[in-house]
Homo-oligomer: A and B are copies of this chain.
């Protein structure tokens, strides 16, 4: 029975030839531990930006098929160079792109989803004792068209390859030491978490903790593949393990707090209260690929058989959304659209908050003490998010981090002695 470990290194880790040599060391270290190693890498540093700039020089609206052809070359470079660096140290390595492996995706360009990964060639090379260097971020359709996986693509490639090979775990190497209770740039005493559950990580990722893209966590959850997020610069630190729920951990109600400043709130007042109007609005948004995060109907008042609808979208989608409201002028009057760009979503996340109403109360209480007005609230099994004014978001985050005793020193002293909430 072999032990397969999949490692993933992002663009910053392979940004130049010296860094690639360092990555080779991390790979060989794992091989020396007696594991079979498959490494998934992204394109080098700013390659993607450089390629995109050339594409935009040529066309304002480059075809998605050709963009995928263009961008997929980036990993071709990094896998070849990393294989050379491993070989230069006397270890057998072989690079493989998505087409060679058979990382099969849907036939959608720039944001394809993986549907299957062939393992015959991978198994063959592992049988031969080779370290396999796999191109992340890219795939191929059953027809041989080259696709890319979109944001978070390389992490997803790594997790999917690990799942296909039934690997022991998938190590995602990053420039941080793991997953923190909150953003250490905002709260300096944020503490690193040893474990988080898939669901907690999903919520943390969705509300702005950028360590892992939610897609990769979803894939890991689906296949119950443990992910370890760890530092490229500190190989002795085991980082944070992301895995399925474990009762042991549920004594801790809140695992982390996070803030997301990337959204904008749209309130549409006086939408006719007829069946199909909201559907038309959200279908049109979906057709344009605009993700809607939080929807609250009858947000403020109810009068004259009209509804108010409030929702949030990404700031980057705002121009497209405004264009779209113009097109829907038969159901949406121009004056009735209100856009609020100065918002932030502040969230607490924890698999242990289920059935503990005190958690929400502590959160609202913390906001009340700071005189912070909550504009919208959304909840899930493992998360409570409050929309607040962006100016007070960082203060809110710090106060929550303190209220739930997530700071380093405190946690060290009060283990098992959580506040009464």
A85 to B61, CA, bound (A): 11
**In the bound complex, do residue A77 and residue B84 qualify as a contact, i.e. CB atoms below 8 Å apart?**
no
* Segment among A51-59, A238-246, A300-308 that sits at the interface with chain B: A51-59
Asked if A69 lies at the interface with its beta carbon under 8 angstroms from chain B, I say yes
CB-defined contacts of A94 to chain B, threshold 8 Å: 65
List the interface of chain A (C-beta within 8 A of B).
Answer: 17, 20-21, 51, 54-55, 57-59, 62-63, 65-67, 69-70, 72-74, 76-77, 79-81, 83-85, 87-88, 94-95, 97, 99-100, 121, 144-146
Smallest Cβ-Cβ distance to A85: which chain B residue: B58
**In the bound complex, do residue B100 and residue A144 qualify as a contact, i.e. CB atoms below 8 Å apart?**
yes
**Given A69-B95, A100-B144, A63 and B76 touching (CB < 8 A)?**
no
**In the bound complex, do residue A17 and residue B57 qualify as a contact, i.e. CB atoms below 8 Å apart?**
yes
Contact of A62 among B62, B76, B84 (CB under 8 A): B84
**In the bound complex, do residue A80 and residue B84 qualify as a contact, i.e. CB atoms below 8 Å apart?**
no
CB-defined contacts of A145 to chain B, threshold 8 Å: 100
Contact of A21 among B58, B70, B72, B84 (CB under 8 A): B58
Smallest Cβ-Cβ distance to A70: which chain B residue: B80
**In the bound complex, do residue B63 and residue A81 qualify as a contact, i.e. CB atoms below 8 Å apart?**
no
Taking each of A51, A65, A76, A87, which has the highest tally of chain B beta carbons within 10 Å of its own beta carbon? A76
**In the bound complex, do residue A70 and residue B81 qualify as a contact, i.e. CB atoms below 8 Å apart?**
yes
**In the bound complex, do residue B59 and residue A85 qualify as a contact, i.e. CB atoms below 8 Å apart?**
yes
**Given A59-B85, A59-B87, A80 and B67 touching (CB < 8 A)?**
yes
Contact of A66 among B80, B97, B99 (CB under 8 A): B80
**In the bound complex, do residue B77 and residue A63 qualify as a contact, i.e. CB atoms below 8 Å apart?**
no
**In the bound complex, do residue A17 and residue B84 qualify as a contact, i.e. CB atoms below 8 Å apart?**
no
Contact of A17 among B58, B69, B121 (CB under 8 A): B58
CB-defined contacts of A51 to chain B, threshold 8 Å: 77
CB-defined contacts of A74 to chain B, threshold 8 Å: 73
Contact of A69 among B21, B79, B87 (CB under 8 A): B79
**In the bound complex, do residue A77 and residue B81 qualify as a contact, i.e. CB atoms below 8 Å apart?**
no
**In the bound complex, do residue B54 and residue A83 qualify as a contact, i.e. CB atoms below 8 Å apart?**
no
**In the bound complex, do residue A84 and residue B58 qualify as a contact, i.e. CB atoms below 8 Å apart?**
yes
Smallest Cβ-Cβ distance to A44: which chain B residue: B54
Taking each of A65, A66, A80, A87, which has the highest tally of chain B beta carbons within 10 Å of its own beta carbon? A80
**In the bound complex, do residue B59 and residue A70 qualify as a contact, i.e. CB atoms below 8 Å apart?**
no
19 sample A-B contacts, Cβ–Cβ < 8 Å, listed by A number = A17-B54, A54-B77, A55-B81, A59-B88, A63-B84, A63-B87, A66-B84, A66-B87, A67-B80, A69-B76, A69-B79, A69-B80, A69-B83, A70-B80, A70-B81, A72-B76, A76-B76, A100-B144, A100-B146
A72 to B76, CA, bound (A): 8
CB-defined contacts of A121 to chain B, threshold 8 Å: 144
A84 to B95, CA, bound (A): 28
**In the bound complex, do residue B54 and residue A81 qualify as a contact, i.e. CB atoms below 8 Å apart?**
yes
Contact of A70 among B54, B77, B144 (CB under 8 A): B77
A176 to B15, CA, bound (A): 38
Taking each of A57, A59, A66, which has the highest tally of chain B beta carbons within 10 Å of its own beta carbon? A66
Contact of A84 among B59, B83, B85 (CB under 8 A): B59
A399 to B88, CA, bound (A): 53
CB-defined contacts of A72 to chain B, threshold 8 Å: 76
**Given A17-B54, A17-B57, A63-B83, A73 and B73 touching (CB < 8 A)?**
yes
**In the bound complex, do residue B95 and residue A66 qualify as a contact, i.e. CB atoms below 8 Å apart?**
yes
CB-defined contacts of A100 to chain B, threshold 8 Å: 144-146
CB-defined contacts of A70 to chain B, threshold 8 Å: 76-77, 80-81, 84
CB-defined contacts of A59 to chain B, threshold 8 Å: 84-85, 87-88
A100 to B146, CA, bound (A): 9
Give the shortest distance, in Å, between A130 (CB) and chain B (any CB).
11
**Given A69-B76, A76-B73, A84 and B55 touching (CB < 8 A)?**
yes
Give the shortest distance, in Å, between A5 (CB) and chain B (any CB).
22
CB-defined contacts of A55 to chain B, threshold 8 Å: 80-81, 84
A95 to B57, CA, bound (A): 18
